[in-house]
Amino acid sequence: MKPRIYIARDLPEPVASYLEEHCECRYWQGPGDISEEQLAEKIGDAEGLLVTATPIGQAVLRAGSSLRVISNLSAGYNNLDLRALQQRKLIATHTPYVLDETVADLAMALLLAAARRVTAMDRLVKRGGWVKGMDAELYGLDVHHKRLGIIGMGRIGEAIARRAALGFEMDVVYYNRSPKPEAEERFGLRYCSMDTLLDTSDFVLLMTPLTPETKHLMGKAQFARMKSNAIFVNVSRGENVDEEALIYALQQGQIAGAGLDVYEHEPISVEHPLLQMDNVVTLPHIGSATAETRLNMAFAAARNLVHALTGQTPVQIVPELQQQ
């Protein structure tokens, strides 16, 4: 008998076909994304669950008494109640690795767009504001040979550092829980304290996971340390930044601008102050959003689920649950 699974999101056809081959599948039919409460109602006797951002806590776990594995279609897994999963001795998986290079591309795109005012200049041209004789009004900031400070030197951080150091000849420094000597040797990086990074970097890029320790890691004190002509870029998680502190820093001219793909509350409201600022580039959380990468992520999540339910070792177990 095939294991029973509940699929709480849309999937590309090849991935759905793969799951149908190995599992008895039930699907969320919408409308919109499934909520935690709706998932608790729908999960029934499913042994496996494939989900993306829906919170998985006690309500879902109590309702899903037959659950054996939860496959999270995301590199991050802050939507999972890890303590509750540990108590139930459930396996949870995620999809790192396959999105690293794509997110690194997006991070560099945000950095360049914010520095060279790409979106502001695009709006200027489209509204007919570009007139002959304009000069200083069009100025941005150089990126090449400037200092990039990366907070969080995981795989994606290393991919960003490689692009910056080798492609733009930037001086790359980083702060991490522990130094990365191999990355330092390969890309010419230098480890430094958080304060030194903030004090001296022309671009500060946040690339940490969301944990209790990193929530609001960037706050009022951190933005106050940055150079007044520095750019802040966040492609990690919105909750890692105190948004009120970021808004204050931008309004007061403590920093020159920002490039953001993530926010404390998503989707961000059209009335949000960050959307009213020409020196802020705002994207709709699209770090991994290419067709190729999303297909690879979906297949990775599907394989994790099938492997766990058929007695094979899942490829990518959430680190905190690997020792169960």
Q: Enumerate the active-site residues.
A: 237, 266, 285
Q: Give strand pairing partners of 317.
A: 93
Q: Which two tokens stand for residue 82?
A: 């890890």
Distance CA 41, CA 266 (A): 24
Q: Kindly give, in sequence order, each residue whose CB lies less than 8 Å from that of residue 322, ignoring residues fewer than 6 positions away.
A: none
DSSP for 255-318, written as a single string: SSEEEES--SSSSPPTT-GGGG-TTEEE--S-TT-SHHHHHHHHHHHHHHHHHHHTTSPPS-B-
Q: Reduced to 3 states, what is the DSSP secondary structure of residue 1?
A: coil
Q: In what order do the strands lie in the sheet with 257-260?
A: 190-191, 171-175, 147-151, 203-206, 231-234, 257-260, 280-282
Distance CA 95, CA 2 (A): 24
Distance CA 297, CA 294 (A): 5
Distance CA 201, CA 145 (A): 12
- The enclosing H or E element of 24 equals strand 24-27
Distance CA 2, CA 255 (A): 56
Residue with tokens 């309702």: 63
Distance CA 231, CA 282 (A): 13
Amino acid in position 63: A
